[in-house]
Structure 1
């Protein structure tokens, strides 16, 4: 009969915040385990020590490293992985002997805690139970006496160790936030708060619920004085109306028409890497006050002070365009963003469609070009679009499939290189196979086909196949296809299409 393994949250520091169930299990434990830093007393043990049975066996699990600097051959991650394996083995000895083991966790066991690594290693071998505890951020919010979220506010919990630019973006895109893991990261966290326009409303809380508890505005904190047991609370009330909005709240933002001539930028961010965003676009984005677009594209724009982001879904392009035009009419500096080039199946056409409304006659629209996905895939492959080529989207959301098929036949008959956007999605799985069949009616089976997936990103792949061997099941929305012409060649240097055409 093995013992039972318990992960018990003991709360943020005040022993009176330990739950009744947690207290009972600690008082009945055969073994109580807890983590501690090198040369430091365990905070979890301090919180629960009064509940330890007189004859309890204590297991202190001392971290081998806490700052990231280590001589371990596997680096910081390797050192910790080895430590967790050794710790699990120590606890397993007691469990195999039939002893119940309580592993104490500060706050909640499964909220940025080390218990989860023991759970990974022991839960499949021994009966395991997790007892939740009061997380530190709840105590911090109570200490600051600030309502955290109201009604439909969104709360985001962020580690201060994430990249500064990403932290700023996420702070700008949420209503309320908790920033954990400060310590040495505090200077970067404070800069991210400032870039997101949230610093003036961020509250720093140190050692929440402990006797040494203190809180003050994050802007007033001395960076060198920030301990690990600290966090920042950014409440939903701090938005003061300057929230990242969807297009259905335009009326709340646009209140009056500006006297000066309004201007709206429509920009292409390129296919993915920051290096593929043109300097012209980068300059424009550095000057605007509002960025409007599909969520994943808006997320690519670096956050900075004074910038408000407006994300929306993938099927409201014209509504999004009207929202941006209304912002521009009110005198705001606005950019509508697209991936790739805004004029190639992007937001440019939607903006011009919305701008046909006479209400926007005074808005000047400037389209700034970007690197298109077809250019990126073609460049990776060689020079497949070195001669005449056509571009088609297989999406039939905005046009009947019969139109798509008619255009595919015309392109195939004209022997043009063909770039295919939007080849498939979760709801569109048959179009690629149909397009393949249509093209094979006019093209040879060995026609070169390039399949580019996530080109320019870490997961990029490029595959060269033939029209007959193309597997439609392998194609998804992240792919762009280039189907060669009869003259397109595959050489050791890459795929290319001659600039000349032999006389007929």
Structure 2
């Protein structure tokens, strides 16, 4: 028997007239129509499409075992839902094996926060499948309100309200326009995030978009206890938002620029001085992954940029401070070690910034973090180098590597490899082996301090350059560097 075909069909946000012609045709010719619903509830997807069901269609009700309540499943909520989707797939597979055409209804679009995608992943390797897109609820919400989302180069971000409040606030602050889904009991946290991001005043709440009972109002006017699951928030951004930078000072005195080291990763490695400073500034400027680590709050404006425009972001910081605004420029690790501090002083040489004070706040450096994780490899004299040749020629890097090797110094290497620089680690290894023993101790620290942390102790001869990337920092030992029986690395303070 020829197996049947599986269709994941989006039925739109609620108004049956928003079902596409293709979806209507497939629903009207299906042998089996399946739909998900909560325990003791009626499926909204079925309600939308019910007028199209064939008289003799077989209905498969896929009822969730749990939604937001507790469960006695040994795997908790995730385990209960995983088992449920396996059961759903098995039930649908029995129809497909019998040659039946199966349509699985999905509110909005099947692949946009939909349950269909889970059975699709399990069944698509075995059966012919097709996904029919549907109009998502946010499109209906903005259309009903005649509310433009983005224009020109504006960025739209779709966010689940289930994100932690600090993360949600950060993302809201960093985008031009946003849609926030999955409200219900998350609404109070979403409200707090909007307030922290400075986006509350323009945010619009839309409930049951495109349905007869649809309602819209400013988010600030919503009763948090009245928010159902079928609701969302629109944060419009008609044009790409421009953060104005005053061209001339607007106060008598310039504010100082704080150049801050955030440490290698964990918040627990932030110094109290840095934490206090970040709580008082009005602007945070830096490479996007570092700015992302600063919690969003009321009154804070974030300026994220790429990794190769250090002097441009330094000039922005100085210009803002010159106008009297409190500014922090952030770097990972310590800002004075291959960080933004030097770029700030470079830009500050311009005559127009002569009156802007600069203060550098130290942070835990990556070399300190890796060394501590390994033991005490930099307990004696050591050197620090970057293998990046973006700001200096490779022949200069080679001369410095030889000098360090000949001086028998412990060497910490930053920026060992990137997507465009793939040979430098191997080149440095060959050069160092001309002056160092193959048994020289090498420490490779990756993402030290983070969940993905790994630490490898090897030798200069056995180091595999292909295992090294930009997340790594290398420590090449001196001839005196040792490894304990427990695998810890240390370098004696004395010289024999």
TM range (shorter): over 0.9
RMSD: 1.2
Which residue in the other structure is 1:253 paired with? 245
Which residue in the other structure is 1:197 paired with? 198
Q: Cα offset for 1:202?
A: 0.8
For residues 151-178 of structure 1, give each alpha carbon's deviation from its aligned partner in whole angstroms, at most 9, with x where no partner exists. Answer: 1110000001111111110000000000
1:143 touches 1:215 (CA, 8 Å); kept in 2? no
Gaps of 5+ in 2: none
Which residue in the other structure is 1:406 paired with? 399
**Is 2:290 the partner of 1:318?**
no
Which residue in the other structure is 1:384 paired with? 377
SS in 2 for 1:236: coil
SS in 2 for 1:67: coil
The number of aligned residues is: 493
Instruction: Identify the range of structure 1 (492-501 vs 70-79) with the bigger mean alpha-carbon deviation.
Output: 492-501
Matches within 5 A, 1:331-342: 331-342=324-335
Which residue in the other structure is 2:56 paired with? 55
SS in 2 for 1:265: strand
- CA distance, structure 2, for counterparts of residue 202 and residue 307 of structure 1: 18
Which residue in the other structure is 1:495 paired with? 489
- CA distance, structure 2, for counterparts of residue 469 and residue 42 of structure 1: 61
Which residue in the other structure is 1:18 paired with? 19
- CA distance, structure 1, for counterparts of residue 246 and residue 125 of structure 2: 57
Q: Cα offset for 1:121?
A: 1.2
**Of residues 472, 479, 488 in structure 2, which corresponds to 1:479?**
472
For residues 22-53 of structure 1, give each alpha carbon's deviation from its aligned partner in whole angstroms, at most 9, with x where no partner exists. Answer: 11111111111111100001111111111111
- CA distance, structure 2, for counterparts of residue 35 and residue 14 of structure 1: 18
- CA distance, structure 2, for counterparts of residue 317 and residue 238 of structure 1: 27
SS in 1 for 2:279: helix
2:260 touches 2:361 (CA, 8 Å); kept in 1? yes
1:149 touches 1:235 (CA, 8 Å); kept in 2? yes
Which residue in the other structure is 2:257 paired with? 264
SS in 1 for 2:172: helix
Which residue in the other structure is 1:248 paired with? none
- CA distance, structure 2, for counterparts of residue 171 and residue 484 of structure 1: 46
1:198 touches 1:238 (CA, 8 Å); kept in 2? no
**Is 2:421 the partner of 1:439?**
no
SS in 1 for 2:149: coil
Which residue in the other structure is 1:144 paired with? 145
- CA distance, structure 2, for counterparts of residue 393 and residue 27 of structure 1: 65
SS in 1 for 2:188: helix
Q: Cα offset for 1:501?
A: 1.4
Matches within 5 A, 1:23-422: 23-237=24-238, 241-242=242-243, 252-257=244-249, 258-422=251-415
Q: Cα offset for 1:492?
A: 2.9
Which residue in the other structure is 1:247 paired with? none
Q: Cα offset for 1:444?
A: 1.2
Q: Cα offset for 1:239?
A: 7.6
Gaps of 5+ in 1: 243-251
- CA distance, structure 2, for counterparts of residue 232 and residue 91 of structure 1: 34
Which residue in the other structure is 1:249 paired with? none
Question: Using a 3 Å threshold, how does the CA distance of structure 1 residues 408 and 240 change in structure 2: closer, same or farther?
Answer: closer
SS in 2 for 1:237: coil
For residues 250-279 of structure 1, give each alpha carbon's deviation from its aligned partner in whole angstroms, at most 9, with x where no partner exists. Answer: xx4223313113210100000000111111
1:262 touches 1:362 (CA, 8 Å); kept in 2? no
Q: So what's the TM-score if we normalise by structure 2?
A: 0.98
